[in-house]
Amino acid sequence: MQQSRFVPYLLIAPATLFLTLLFVVPLVQTIALAFSDGGAPSLGNVRKMAGDLNFGLSIRNTFLLVLTVIPLQLGLALAMSMMLQKISHGRDLVLWIWSIPLGISDLAAGLVWLSILQDRGYLNSLLFAAGIIEGPTNWLSYEHPISLFVGVVLAESWRATAIVLVILVAGLQLIPAEYAEAAEIFGAKPWTRFRKITLPLLKPSIQSALILRTVLAFEVFAVVYALSGRNYPVIVGEAYAWQQVNQNNGVAAAYAMLVMAISLVATLVYLRVLRVRPETQP
Amino acid sequence: MNAGIRRLVFLAGVGVLCAWVIVPIYLIALGAFSGRTGVFRWPKSLWPSEATLASLQAFLAIDGVGAAAMNGALVAGLTMLFSLLIGAPAGYALARYAFPGATLFRLLVVLTRAFPLAILALPLTVTFIRIGLYDTALGVALIHTALALPFATLISASLFVGIPRELEEAAWVFGCSRIEAFRRVVLPLALPGLAAAAIFAFVISWNEVFAASVLTVRNKTLTAYLLTVLAESPLHFRFAGGFLLIVPSIIFIFAVRKYLFAMWGIANR
């Protein structure tokens, strides 16, 4: 069939064109916008960004959040996926419940935790009933940076652990059961089996879960905004504010470049550190 | 440790983790149904005492909320349609043909997921104003399709790989053309999975907030609308809005639960 050589190219043409127009072109445009001023190349936007009061703070806050939330989510998701393997009855129901947050937006998750953590919310009502606080306490103000941070971590962990879980569970299904059985016959304890068999074989899934989750975590913004407004500045929140409030898309683009660079570096680090050798996989 | 106690601790752990997911949803539902005065009651009860639809009704009656909800559904619907129409053929090509450039194409698709794509909406405001797409449902749907397309492509590729090539070849033997064989043999088998991929695209679009806020002024999606009015909305409106955002997501995740893992398993290798 002579004509069939062109068929695959015909099939991928729309997707390639689309991704070029809406991914490659805006990417180049963002770079141009960030590093120019009135059409001429300039570092003005970058300088303005770096001189901004919230600049250092937003970077510190974002990194603090990512470095806390990602390990927490990976640990939690690993524990949950191991638990799922031991559930005999009602596994599907538990799995569905645990994956519900997958569909919940970051804004909605922020609002959910606002209802719990606001000064007259459910948490304070519980603390009041237990005699720990004397009246409504505002945990989400900038005067309480630690409780504000904990609130954001709670909301982010609540919302986005599900995606890690789903990727890990899907990866576990691809590992043949024979390996663990063989190890058990040779006397390996559950913890040894987990560390020496499951974890190495799960590496590709862990890698893709971490890349996906980390890129999204550096984009964190709506959760924080819903919980505290701009009391806890984060990088993308600053980009949003420069674009929508200050109407300065040059500085906003500079912030976008910053997030882009950080995400790219994070991805490369994961690819390098969690390098998967094909011969070690089934 | 005694095996029975160990089992009990294990079940308690599962129960606690289930509660960790469900209780916050229950609490915002409680907030959404407790009305204006209920939101400020102190201390709060964890049981619904006086359920009222007042908050939700008042929220829905605000000028712009209904339109934003309709607009959000329209954008998500368009995203669903585009990402499937463009993504499924590409997935089929990746699954069925070995062609020079396949690896490069796969790399382009995977690469887009390593970028914070929504942020790229920033320079698009200028382009979109110039070509008349700014502040339209179509414009937002286009950038949302860029977000959902990698998933749609990889998911449909893994679906098509799972359908034996022999079935298709048998249809050719019986005189079907390639297109006919696809339509009558492959498509019916892939349809449920494709529907799941489409629903996933819907959820991605419905939830996306950054691009949707930046690219619109009047025709906001519900999520973007909520973000814009958040600062000046009273608490009971925020909870009503948050609750309304969550409901479709929960229903959709329930609808695609069977495919969640097929979708993620192979799509990520």
Residues of B with Cβ-Cβ distance to A86 under 8 angstroms: 10
Looking at the domain assignment, is residue A211 inside a domain? yes
In this prediction, what percent of chain B has a pLDDT beyond 70?
97
The parent domain of residue A161 ranges over 53-280
State the complex-level ipTM: 0.88
Residues of A with Cβ-Cβ distance to B87 under 8 angstroms: 15
pLDDT band at B73 (very low <50, low <70, confident <90, very high): very high
Looking at the domain assignment, is residue A69 inside a domain? yes
Q: Return d(Cα B222, Cα B62) in angstroms, integer.
A: 12
Question: B87 and B38, same structural domain?
Answer: no
Q: Is the pLDDT of residue A177 over 60?
A: yes
pLDDT for the residue B79: 97
Looking at the domain assignment, is residue A25 inside a domain? no
Question: B204 and B96, same structural domain?
Answer: yes
Q: Return d(Cα B139, Cα A239) in angstroms, integer.
A: 20
Question: B138 and B203, same structural domain?
Answer: yes
pTM of the model: 0.89
Q: How many contacts, defined by CB atoms under 8 Å, are there between A and B?
A: 278
pLDDT digits (tens, 9 = 90+) for A232-280: 999 999 999 998 888 888 899 999 999 999 998 998 899 888 887 777 7
pLDDT for the residue A158: 96
Residue of chain A with shortest Cα separation from B41: A120
Bigger pLDDT: A176 vs A18? A18
Annotate chain B with DSSP letters as a single string: --HHHHHHHHHHHHHHHHHHHHHHHHHHHHHHHSHHHHHH-SSPPSS-SS--SHHHHHHHHSTTHHHHHHHHHHHHHHHHHHHHHHHHHHHHHHHH---TTHHHHHHHHHHHHTS-GGGGHHHHHHHHHHHT-TTSHHHHHHHHHHHHHHHHHHHHHHHHHTS-HHHHHHHHHTT--HHHHIIIIIHHHHHHHHHHHHHHHHHHHHH--HHHHHT-SSS--HHHHHHHHGGGS-HHHHHHHHHHHHHHHHHHHHHTTTTHHHHHHHHT-
Question: B222 and B166, same structural domain?
Answer: yes
Looking at the domain assignment, is residue A10 inside a domain? no
Q: Is the pLDDT of residue A85 over 70?
A: yes
pLDDT for the residue B53: 83
Touching A: B residues 150-189, CB under 8 Å: 153, 178
Question: B171 and B140, same structural domain?
Answer: yes
Q: Is the pLDDT of residue B153 over 60?
A: yes
Q: How far is B25 from chain A (nearest CA, A)?
A: 7
Question: B258 and B127, same structural domain?
Answer: yes
Touching A: B residues 83-112, CB under 8 Å: 85-87, 89-90, 92-94, 96-97, 99, 101-102, 105, 108-109, 112
Looking at the domain assignment, is residue A6 inside a domain? no
pLDDT digits (tens, 9 = 90+) for B4-42: 898 899 999 999 999 999 999 999 998 888 877 777 777
The mean pLDDT of A152-175, rounded to a whole number, is 90
pLDDT for the residue B267: 43
**Structural domains counted in chain B:** 2
Per the DSSP assignment, residues forming a β-bridge with A41 are A36
pLDDT for the residue A1: 47
Q: A253 near A181, Cβ under 8 Å?
A: no
Contact B116 A252 (CB under 8 A): no
The parent domain of residue B47 ranges over 1-52
Looking at the domain assignment, is residue A17 inside a domain? no
Question: B119 and B27, same structural domain?
Answer: no
Looking at the domain assignment, is residue A215 inside a domain? yes
Question: B21 and B101, same structural domain?
Answer: no
**The CATH number of the domain where B244 resides is what?**
1.10.3720.10
Q: Is A249 on the interface with B (CB under 8 A)?
A: yes
pLDDT band at A190 (very low <50, low <70, confident <90, very high): confident
Question: B216 and B102, same structural domain?
Answer: yes
Looking at the domain assignment, is residue A222 inside a domain? yes
Question: B109 and B48, same structural domain?
Answer: no
Contact B246 A104 (CB under 8 A): yes
Residue of chain A with shortest Cα separation from B15: A94
Q: Which of A124-128, B137-141, B200-204, B251-255 has the highest mean pLDDT?
A: B137-141
Q: Return d(Cα B206, Cα B200) in angstroms, integer.
A: 10
**The CATH number of the domain where A249 resides is what?**
1.10.3720.10
**Structural domains counted in chain A:** 1
The mean pLDDT of A61-80, rounded to a whole number, is 96
Q: What average pLDDT does chain B have?
A: 87
